[in-house]
Amino acid sequence: MAWKCWLKIALLCFVSLVSVVLGTTDSGDYAVLDEFRRGLSNPELLRWPTNSKDPCGPPQWPHIFCSGSRVTQIQVQDLGLSGPLPHDFNKLAMLSNIGLQRNKFTGNLPSFNGLSNLQYAYLGGNQFDTIPTDFFVGLSSLQVLTLENNPLNQSTGWTLPPDLAHSAQLMNLSLSHCNLVGPLPEFLGSMKSLTVLKLSYNNLIGGIPVSYSGLPLQILWLNNQEGPGLTGSIEIITNMTLLNDVWLHENQFSGLIPDSISALSLLTRLWLNNNRLVGPVPESLINMSQLQSLRLDDNMLVGTVPKLSISNFTYAGNSFCQNTPGVPCSAEVTALLDFLKDVNYPTRLSDSWFGNDPCTSSWLGISCSNNNVSVINLPNYQLNGTISESLGALDSLVYVLLGGNNLAGPIPDNMSSLKSLKMLNLSFNNISPPVPRFPTSVKVLLDGNKLLQNPPSPGSPPGVGLPGVSPPSTDSPTPPNQPSSSGNGTKSSRKLNILVIVVPTVVGASVVFVAILLLFFCWKSKTNVFVAPNSTTTQPSKATNQDNPHKLVAKNVVNSSTSTSGFQSIASSGTGSTHAIDSGNLTIPVQVLRSATGNFALDNVLGRGGFGVVYKGELHDGTMIAVKRMESSVLSNKALDEFHSEIAVLSKVRHRNLVSILGYSAEDNERLLVYAYMQQGALSKHLFQWKQLELEPLSWKKRLNIALDVARGLEYLHNLAHQSFIHRDLKSSNILLGDDYRAKISDFGLVKLAPDGKQSVVTRLAGTFGYLAPEYAVTGKITTKVDVFSFGVVLMELLTGMMALDEERPEESHYLASWFCHMKTDKEKLRSIIDPSIAITDETFEGVPVIADLAAHCAAREPHQRPEMGHAVNVLASLVEKWMPINDDQEEYLGIDFHQPLLQMVKGWQAADGTTDVCSASLNDSKGSIPARPAGFAESFKSSDGR
Ligand SMILES: *[C@@H]1O[C@H](CO)[C@@H](O)[C@H](O)[C@H]1NC(C)=O
Ligand SMILES: *[C@@H]1O[C@H](CO)[C@@H](O)[C@H](O)[C@H]1NC(C)=O
Ligand SMILES: *[C@@H]1O[C@H](CO)[C@@H](O)[C@H](O)[C@H]1NC(C)=O
Ligand SMILES: *[C@@H]1O[C@H](CO)[C@@H](O)[C@H](O)[C@H]1NC(C)=O
Ligand SMILES: *[C@@H]1O[C@H](CO)[C@@H](O)[C@H](O)[C@H]1NC(C)=O
């Protein structure tokens, strides 16, 4: 037997001899690995022997696995390697599994073209900056490909080449955060093995392709598309019956949450927040017992918040009628929501019809009388669908004005028995017979409905236009102006190409009432030419204006691109107007405002703003308004600019956290702006003067909500679809509180349109000391980050109850911003400056440090260190909905939590424990107790013309 043993030993010796001298590894594979190692700046981390040319060994090199002489795996994840990959990487022809994730690889990603054995490719979390077009060719065995978190083709973006369609076994495709652009690739719908698709944080647009129906997806992440985001319905996901985890948040998805969502019996997490979804939350969701986490916040959902037995259910920022799950809406609201349903939930209405009281929350198109809905005024709203029977239950209705829409179907029978109805205008729709018999007291306008050749409406001759409306008595609700049916036919011809000012209807109706009264007067005295809405009259006639500058023209306008309003009056500006107002008109005669404010009585002064005094007023119908009156002594060009700027801006923006303008006057030396009245007044009052004014101090909850409201308003201002506005004068006295303590930002006189791109513009210094960002004070350069700074200061005020600038305080604390940053580095010090009127509870205990960090982050010295407002919204929203425990359930999928930058950042802050936060780091060159202010900061205060 011994010879056999000897033979074995000899063989072994030979084999090892061969391997030492020649190596068993394929020389091409070795060459690639060698080039790989040489390219790295830190190859020592690999611990590859420098004297061996035989990666396959024995001994095998660390991180390398072979089959025979060929390299099959490279596993170097999380080693911190930095450098490029060799360009001929695809010569490793037998490679089946490669793990390069979470290193610092840079440069071009080499082509993987032809790696037909490759099954698993983990390349995420690196710094690869280009991907070649032929990367995906011939990857016929590919099952997993992750490229997420690489700055691939950043400047141009890239689209997924269809070559990938040939990887028929692909199960997991993770391309989040890697600059994909364009629509979702249609061809992915043909990949019948795909179970994980993660495309978050790209720049994808368009809808989810129909071809995706029936994909065996378990995880679908399409959230947080930068740019315009994904659009269209989410209905198709209900056909992906294996779905377990769905992230569609932070996009522009619209339409309903489909009832059939309950077909997804494996779904455990559904995040739909921050989209444009409308309609109610489907009942069927309630029965999805396997669902563990549901996020619906910041959509336009209406109706009742469902009572779900899920702990992780968020729904703030919608149009629900109640905040409490399970509490039903009032009968009136239910009826109006049924109406909304039958016109397919148009977004403008879904957005504005929130809360449980149509009469106080300025619902678009709704006016009230004695706290009951009396007017539905939605002419030319491009409404489609049918008229709901539910209107027949609203006995308080007096005027139903739906002319110039696209409504089909018959008029519900029960509408003919509405007790108070005086007018039903359905002209220029597509109403079909039969028409119910209305009492003669009701004016029914039905012309322009081609299915009703002979409108059998008693007592209402067709073609009755506005002059036929009899002026209402003072105690009956005021009829808004009508879409005139004497005009010429088509809806488009009635569209006027001017900007439209938002008219919340309660007051809007009164404003128009005034216009109508005047019109009526003019009509009677035969000095006026009534101009029918017609495409030829896009502006009040010049000749007429010269003849008589007070002549009024009332008409309906709708502007499809900017429109948020159904009606308004257009009047020539007053005689004394030196600055033309281009942005559409909503003038109110000074006389009306004079009587509303008791001739600007001192008793009615609400406050003093930048260029004038704000008065409380009450219109004849009881509507409360706030009137800002410019002092005639300051009618400088600058002040006039602010006046016009405010009208121009407010006519373009509309958001529930920005005050809305109701109208203005510009006659002779009067310049007046009219806003909805905010019952609780300025935030500053509640923070700094609550004792004198005998108010309740603001609770922590209210403060958080206010902060979130303000953040949302600013975010909106900064991120309008095509433009970005900078407020420039955010401060607590410009933040107004409604009866419910919801906040709105006001005072838009200094708002600037941000230039395209993100560069800054140099402007005249304006704003308020204490809130001014340092770079702005010094250089006059503004970006949206100027507002972020001011917001940081407001947060500090909310936390401390101290004013942004107070010369009465000891010198080091004159400026809250710099002092706060200094104090917050130390927990004890931070505690000592928290507003003593905030009760310390578990909630505040957890929230205070987060808000303090956010405040400091926002008020960081360098603009680039400050976050975008969206970040602040996220931080605040998560607090408002109770503090979410940081237990990364994301980690179950990937190990790295890149989808939750918020949580990561918060974690980072908590770890740093105040020692390295942005705001103190930027100021820590001052060793003493007073952080240095930037050079020139103080001087710029003195030399400027601020207020
Ligand atoms: C990425 O950019 C490079 C260089 O600009 C270009 O050659 C390549 O085709 C781009 N990749 C894709 C997939 O479009
Ligand atoms: C969803 O599946 C149903 C039944 O399989 C099918 O009728 C429907 O067309 C699918 N929907 C889409 C959008 O493909
Ligand atoms: C839901 O929240 C609880 C704590 O409130 C947490 O433990 C759990 O992991 C969360 N579940 C999901 C699916 O997010
Ligand atoms: C009907 O109106 C809804 C809501 O505005 C809109 O989404 C939908 O596209 C419209 N449908 C048609 C056929 O115009
Ligand atoms: C209606 O249109 C016709 C031409 O199409 C025009 O001559 C006429 O003046 C218009 N009528 C009104 C009231 O605008």
Per DSSP, the residues of 741-806 read --EEE---TT-EEPPSTT--EE----S-TTT--HHHHHH-EE-THHHHHHHHHHHHHHHH---SB-
Ligand of minimum distance to the alpha carbon of 247: 3
User: Mean pLDDT over residues 776-786, rounded?
Assistant: 79
Give 312 Cα–ligand 3 centroid separation in angstroms: 6
Closest approach atom of ligand 2 to CA 236: 13
- What would the two tokens of residue 485 be? 């049916």
pLDDT, mean over the chain: 76
- What would the two tokens of residue 270 be? 């559904």
- Would you say residue 921 has pLDDT above 70? no
Closest approach atom of ligand 5 to CA 489: 1
Ligand of minimum distance to the alpha carbon of 408: 4
Give 58 Cα–ligand 4 centroid separation in angstroms: 69
* pLDDT-derived band at 687, boundaries 50, 70, 90: very high
In this structure, the residue with its CA closest to atom 3 of ligand 2 is: 239
User: Mean pLDDT over residues 16-42, rounded?
Assistant: 79
- What would the two tokens of residue 682 be? 């300025």
Closest approach atom of ligand 5 to CA 487: 13
Closest approach atom of ligand 2 to CA 235: 13
* pLDDT-derived band at 755, boundaries 50, 70, 90: low
Answer whether 723 contacts ligand 5 (Cβ < 6 A).
no
User: Mean pLDDT over residues 864-876, rounded?
Assistant: 89
CB 742 within 8 A of CB 713: no
Chain segment 689-714, per-residue pLDDT in tens: 888 888 889 998 899 999 999 999 99
**Which among 687, 947, 881 has a CA at the least distance from the CA of 793?**
687
Answer whether 153 contacts ligand 1 (Cβ < 6 A).
yes
Look up residue 268 and give its amino acid. Answer: T
Ligand of minimum distance to the alpha carbon of 886: 3
State which of 466, 488, 494, 535 you would mutate to test the pocket of ligand 5, scoring each by most atoms of that ligand within 8 A of its C-beta. Answer: 488
Q: How is residue 812 annotated by DSSP?
A: G
Catalytic residues: 729
Answer whether 130 contacts ligand 1 (Cβ < 6 A).
yes
Q: Which residues of 360-397 are buried (b: 16+ CB within 10 A; e: fewer)?
A: ebbbbbbbbbeebbbbbbbbbbebebbbbbbbbbbebb
CB 211 within 8 A of CB 183: no
% of the chain with per-residue pLDDT over 70: 72
Answer whether 236 contacts ligand 2 (Cβ < 6 A).
yes
% of the chain with per-residue pLDDT over 90: 42
In this structure, the residue with its CA closest to atom 4 of ligand 4 is: 346
User: Mean pLDDT over residues 866-872, rounded?
Assistant: 90
- Would you say residue 22 has pLDDT above 80? no
State which of 213, 217, 260 you would mutate to test the pocket of ligand 2, scoring each by most atoms of that ligand within 8 A of its C-beta. Answer: 213
Strands 120-122 and 144-146: parallel
pLDDT at 891: 28
pLDDT at 569: 26
Answer whether 534 contacts ligand 5 (Cβ < 6 A).
yes
- The angle subtended at Cα 128 by Cα 126 and Cα 132, nearest 5°, is 140
Q: Say how many residues make up the chain.
A: 947
Q: Which of 325-329, 589-593, 642-646 has the lowest mean pLDDT?
A: 642-646
Bigger pLDDT: 722 vs 461: 722
pLDDT at 351: 86
Bigger pLDDT: 623 vs 446: 446
Give 514 Cα–ligand 3 centroid separation in angstroms: 56
Answer whether 292 contacts ligand 3 (Cβ < 6 A).
yes
Q: Tokens 């004849």, residue?
A: 620
Ligand of minimum distance to the alpha carbon of 883: 3
Q: Report the run of H or E that residue 831 belongs to, with start and end.
A: helix 827-833
Closest approach atom of ligand 5 to CA 536: 14
- Would you say residue 779 has pLDDT above 90? no
Query: Residue 278, SS3?
Result: strand
CB 245 within 8 A of CB 222: no
Give 585 Cα–ligand 5 centroid separation in angstroms: 25
Of 7-16, 493-502, 816-825, which one has max mean pLDDT? Answer: 816-825
Check residue 415 and give left, alpha or beta (phi > 0: left; psi -120 to 50: alpha). Answer: alpha
Give 429 Cα–ligand 2 centroid separation in angstroms: 33
* pLDDT-derived band at 555, boundaries 50, 70, 90: very low
Answer whether 892 contacts ligand 3 (Cβ < 6 A).
no
pLDDT at 508: 37
- Would you say residue 91 has pLDDT above 90? yes
In this structure, the residue with its CA closest to atom 8 of ligand 1 is: 132
* pLDDT-derived band at 21, boundaries 50, 70, 90: very low
CB 256 within 8 A of CB 277: yes
Fold of 685-881: Transferase(Phosphotransferase); domain 1 (1.10.510)
DSSP lists the bridge partners of residue 667 as 670
- Would you say residue 759 has pLDDT above 50? no
CB atoms within 10 A of CB 542: 9
- Would you say residue 480 has pLDDT above 90? no
Residue 67 CA to residue 93 CA, distance in Å, equals: 12
- What would the two tokens of residue 572 be? 């020539």
Give 131 Cα–ligand 1 centroid separation in angstroms: 6
Just give the CATH number of 26-179: 3.80.10.10
DSSP lists the bridge partners of residue 205 as 183
- Would you say residue 176 has pLDDT above 80? yes
Ligand of minimum distance to the alpha carbon of 533: 5
**Sequence-ordered list of residues with C-beta below 8 angstroms from that of 674, at least 6 positions apart, any chain:** 507, 588, 593, 617, 625, 626, 627, 628, 661, 662, 663, 664, 665
Answer whether 108 contacts ligand 1 (Cβ < 6 A).
no
Answer whether 233 contacts ligand 2 (Cβ < 6 A).
no
User: Mean pLDDT over residues 8-24, rounded?
Assistant: 51
Q: How is residue 493 annotated by DSSP?
A: G
**Which among 753, 743, 752 has a CA at the least distance from the CA of 712?**
743
DSSP lists the bridge partners of residue 812 as none
Question: What are the distances in angstroms from CA 202 to CA 159, 208, 230, 602?
Answer: 11, 14, 10, 56
Query: Residue 196, SS3?
Result: strand
Give 493 Cα–ligand 5 centroid separation in angstroms: 10
Q: Tokens 């129909």, residue?
A: 210
Give 108 Cα–ligand 1 centroid separation in angstroms: 10
State which of 219, 244, 312 you would mutate to test the pocket of ligand 3, scoring each by most atoms of that ligand within 8 A of its C-beta. Answer: 312
CB 195 within 8 A of CB 222: no
pLDDT at 792: 95
Closest approach atom of ligand 4 to CA 383: 2
Answer whether 154 contacts ligand 1 (Cβ < 6 A).
no
Q: Tokens 């739909």, residue?
A: 272
Q: Which of 157-166, 425-434, 517-526, 579-588 has the lowest mean pLDDT?
A: 517-526
DSSP lists the bridge partners of residue 105 as 83
Answer whether 158 contacts ligand 1 (Cβ < 6 A).
yes
Residue 576 CA to residue 110 CA, distance in Å, equals: 71
Ligand 4 environment, Cβ below 6 A? 344, 346, 384
628 is in an annotated binding site: yes
Give 488 Cα–ligand 5 centroid separation in angstroms: 6
Answer whether 133 contacts ligand 1 (Cβ < 6 A).
yes
Same CATH topology for 26-179 and 365-474? yes
Of 168-182, 505-519, 659-673, 884-898, which one has max mean pLDDT? Answer: 168-182
In this structure, the residue with its CA closest to atom 11 of ligand 4 is: 384
- Would you say residue 572 has pLDDT above 60? no
In this structure, the residue with its CA closest to atom 6 of ligand 2 is: 239
In this structure, the residue with its CA closest to atom 7 of ligand 4 is: 346
pLDDT at 185: 96
Ligand of minimum distance to the alpha carbon of 343: 4
Give 158 Cα–ligand 1 centroid separation in angstroms: 7
- Would you say residue 577 has pLDDT above 50? no
pLDDT at 193: 93
Domain boundaries, the chain: 26-179, 365-474, 685-881
SS (H, E, C) 598-650: CCCCHHHEEEECCCEEEEEEECCCCCEEEEEEECHHHCCHHHHHHHHHHHHHH
Answer whether 885 contacts ligand 3 (Cβ < 6 A).
yes
pLDDT at 473: 32
Give 150 Cα–ligand 1 centroid separation in angstroms: 14
Closest approach atom of ligand 4 to CA 384: 1
Give 846 Cα–ligand 3 centroid separation in angstroms: 18
Residue 719 CA to residue 706 CA, distance in Å, equals: 20
* pLDDT-derived band at 362, boundaries 50, 70, 90: low
CB 767 within 8 A of CB 729: yes
In this structure, the residue with its CA closest to atom 2 of ligand 3 is: 312
Ligand of minimum distance to the alpha carbon of 256: 4
- Would you say residue 222 has pLDDT above 90? yes
Residue 391 CA to residue 400 CA, distance in Å, equals: 9
What's the count of helices (H) and strands (E) in the chain, helices before strands? 20, 43
Gyration radius of the chain's alpha carbons: 33
Bigger pLDDT: 184 vs 625: 184
**Which among 107, 101, 88, 79 has a CA at the least distance from the CA of 33?**
88
The yes or no reply on domain 365-474 and CATH 3.40.630.30 is: no
Closest approach atom of ligand 4 to CA 345: 4
Chain segment 483-532, per-residue pLDDT in tens: 333 333 332 322 222 222 223 333 333 333 333 333 333 333 332 322 23
- Would you say residue 39 has pLDDT above 80? yes
Q: Tokens 């420039």, residue?
A: 728
Residue 486 CA to residue 464 CA, distance in Å, equals: 7
In this structure, the residue with its CA closest to atom 1 of ligand 5 is: 488
CB 152 within 8 A of CB 178: yes
Chain segment 367-406, per-residue pLDDT in tens: 888 889 998 989 888 899 999 999 999 999 999 999 899 9
In this structure, the residue with its CA closest to atom 7 of ligand 1 is: 132
- Would you say residue 654 has pLDDT above 80? no
User: Mean pLDDT over residues 772-799, rounded?
Assistant: 86
pLDDT at 65: 92
In this structure, the residue with its CA closest to atom 5 of ligand 2 is: 239
pLDDT at 9: 55
Closest approach atom of ligand 5 to CA 486: 13
In this structure, the residue with its CA closest to atom 14 of ligand 1 is: 158
Chain segment 101-150, per-residue pLDDT in tens: 999 999 999 999 999 999 999 999 999 999 999 999 999 999 999 999 99
State which of 158, 175, 203 you would mutate to test the pocket of ligand 1, scoring each by most atoms of that ligand within 8 A of its C-beta. Answer: 158
